[in-house]
Amino acid sequence: MEPPPHPSPVDSNVVDTQAVDTKAETKRPPAPWRRPLWIAVGVALGLAVLSMVSRDGGGIDLLNALVRFANFVVIPGISYGCQLGLGALGVTLIYAVMRFSDFAHADTMAFGAMGVILATRVLQGMGISAGPLPTALLALPFGILGAVTLALVFDRAVYRFYRRQRAAPVTFVIASIGAMFVTNGLVRLIIGPGDQRFADGDRFIIRVQTFKEMTGLSEGLALRTTHVITLVVAVMVVLGLFVFLNRTPLGKAMRAYADNEDLALLSGINPERVALWTWIIAATLATIAGTLYGLDKSFKPFTYFQLLLPIFASAIVGGIGKPLGAIAGGFVVAFSEIAFTYPYRKILGYLGFETDSLVQLLSTDYKFAVCFIILVVVLIWRPRGIFQGRVI
């Protein structure tokens, strides 16, 4: 569980990426083989597409297959991936700076989203809305304020004590489990254990029926407002975070503190200030992730509690301590969960492979199992994740 003495936990674009490249170089096929390999793959794919399109109505069938795939796999996968990625970003940040896995993070997401819901209700009551966009976007600052307050209270009341004791990471982890239960209880106490729907504004950008009429295809595609909002907000937040970590003095201080605590302290970085800002950023990320998830799906305290596993899987797959890894990990986990449990029967039917079986790798009951499998596989064969984060 102990991290190695001098790892580089936060992604410092310049130095680290090169290091990763040279390491990764050794595992890929030797350079002269790469181009023919890609050409061969390209030709094979081209031939496959050609043979399908040349059948009767093949072009339309191929489009239908693509639309169906987009409707049930790609679009849900992208928005779920963004939500997981934002969640994992917070976990990874806390791990990098505070050096422990924050089990309370999923519940912080619920707490933040709860604040947003309550503020949304107030705004709606005052007749304020964001037009076609959900009112929740306006309420976001209030939710963030709530979650940040909660995180800082926990930091002052619990984590600071252990930080001064220089307690082992496992002590922090156990303390965070305590924080998880407290947060969990608070959320249920304040807003109740039930389902909350707070999405308003226009629900759809493209409806299935409209899409069918527009294109004349037999498969429809639904694009919900929340899908687009999730993607746009996630991209903005991630860009903002990267600029912060790489360009601002405070971001650099955080990375330095994450890299080597002793050296950072010697060079005059105030650890309390770093901790303060880490919690503020992590709680902000958690609230945004929680709100996007709640808008897109639905808010229920227990569902958020269950998000903990995929979020940790994402952070670890990406390489814990690596912000870029958290995003990549989020997409890997989201797409694996969906793609492994999706039945491909109709899509294959469109492509000319009629079959009676559902062509489903795993039943949807095993969604969680996919997370576990990914975790086990990664921890055995690539313990530092895609982006070579820390070993935990």
Partner 1 sequence: MDPHPISIYSRLTSALGSGLVALSLCAATTPALTQTDKAVKIGVLLGFTGPIESLIPPMADSADLAFKQVSDSGQFLDGKTIESVRADSTCIDAGAATAAAERLVTSEKVVAILGADCSGVTIAVANNVAVPKGIALISPSATSPALSTIDDDGLFFRTSPSDARQGKVLAQVIKERGYDTIAITYTKNDYGKGLSESLQAGFEALGGTVAISTAHEDGKGDYTAEVAELAEAGSDLLVVLGYADQGGIGIVRAALDTGAFEIFGLGDAMYSPTVLDSIKADGNDLTGSFGTVPGNEGEGVDAFQEIVTPVGLDGQGPFTGESYDAAALMALAMQRGGEATSEAIAANMIAVANAPGEKILPGQLDKALKILAAGGEVDYVGVTNVELVGPGEAAGSYREYEVQGDEFKTVRFR
Applying CB under 8 A, which residues contact partner 1? 71-72, 76, 80, 193-195, 197, 202-204, 207-209, 212, 220, 222, 224, 293, 296-298, 300, 302-303, 306, 337-338, 341-346, 358, 360, 363-365, 367
CB 358 → partner 1: shortest distance, Å?
5
Query: For residue 338, how many other CB atoms are within 10 A of its CB?
Result: 19
CB of 343 to partner 1, least distance (A): 4
Hey, is 360 helix, strand or coil?
coil
Distance CA 220, CA 68 (A): 7
Is the CB of 5 or the CB of 216 nearer to partner 1?
216
**Closer to partner 1 at the Cβ: 267 or 360?**
360
Residue 237 tokens read as 């937040």
Nearest approach in angstroms of CB 368 to partner 1 is 10
Give how far the C-alpha of residue 131 lies from the chain's centroid of Cα atoms, to the nearest Å: 27
Nearer to partner 1, 252 or 367 (CB): 367
The DSSP-derived string for 41-70 is: HHHHHHHHHHHHHTSTTHHHHHHHHHHHHI
d(CA 49, CA 200): 41
For 367, other C-beta atoms within 10 Å of its C-beta total 15
Cβ proximity to partner 1: between 73 and 265 the closer is 73
Find the shortest distance in angstroms from Cβ 373 to partner 1.
16
Shortest Å distance, C-beta 91 to partner 1: 19
Q: How far is the CB of 119 from partner 1 (least distance, A)?
A: 19
Q: Which among 45, 83, 7, 15 is positioned nearest to 338, based on CA atoms?
A: 83
Phi-psi category of residue 26: left, alpha or beta, with phi > 0 → left and psi -120 to 50 → alpha: alpha
Q: State the amino acid at position 227 in one-letter form.
A: H
Strands (E), the chain: 204-206, 223-224
**Smaller CB separation from partner 1, 252 or 345:** 345
Q: Which residues pair with 204 in a beta bridge?
A: 224
The residue among 73 and 168 lying less far from partner 1, judged by its C-beta, is: 73
Q: Closest CB to partner 1 among 328 and 370?
A: 370
Closest distance between partner 1 and the C-beta of residue 243, in Å? 31
If DSSP codes are grouped into helix, strand and coil, which group holds residue 228? helix
Rounded-to-integer distance, Cα 217 and Cα 214, Å: 8
Cβ proximity to partner 1, 260 vs 303, nearer residue? 303
| CB contact set of 228 (below 8 Å; sequence gap of 6+) | 205
Q: How far is CA 118 from CA 122, 143, 152, 199, in A?
A: 6, 8, 20, 12
Going by the DSSP 8-state scheme, the letter that residue 3 receives in this structure is P
Q: How far is the CB of 290 from partner 1 (least distance, A)?
A: 11
How far apart (Å, rounded) are the C-alpha atoms in residues 40 and 44? 6
